[in-house]
Amino acid sequence: MKNITVVKNPDHEKLQELGVNSWPIWTKEVSEFPWSYDSPETCYFLEGDVIVTPQGGEPVQVGKGDLVTFPEGMACSWKVLQPVRKHYKFGH
């Protein structure tokens, strides 16, 4: 199974190359919920602090300033510790 990939504080050029600022924004209050990915998701956290635990895997903490890719087919649980605001894009 593929892992969650996290790039801490990616440089401005990388974000511009990906077109992050044109992606939609998703927000979520402090909560816990299950989630699964039908396609890969890349997101850039503007705000927040989250622990994502893949089924059968180790928890990964992500938050403000992180560029994160979640693999297709992954089932996980999200524990939102601080409200999230992130740009996101599904697919490759």
Each residue of 58-75: pLDDT tens digit? Answer: 999 999 999 999 999 999
Q: Can you tell me the mean pLDDT for 10-17?
A: 96
Chain-centre distance for alpha carbon 35: 12
What pTM, to 2 d.p., does this model score?
A: 0.95
Confidence (pLDDT) at 32: 98
The domain defined by 5-90 folds into Jelly Rolls (2.60.120)
Residue type, 31: S
Beta strand ranges found along 9-74 (DSSP E): 25-28, 31-36, 41-54, 60-63, 66-70
Judged against a pLDDT cut of 90, whether residue 19 lies above it is answered with yes
Residue among 69, 66, 65 at smallest CA distance from 54 = 69
Domain spans in the chain, listed from the N-terminal domain onward: 5-90
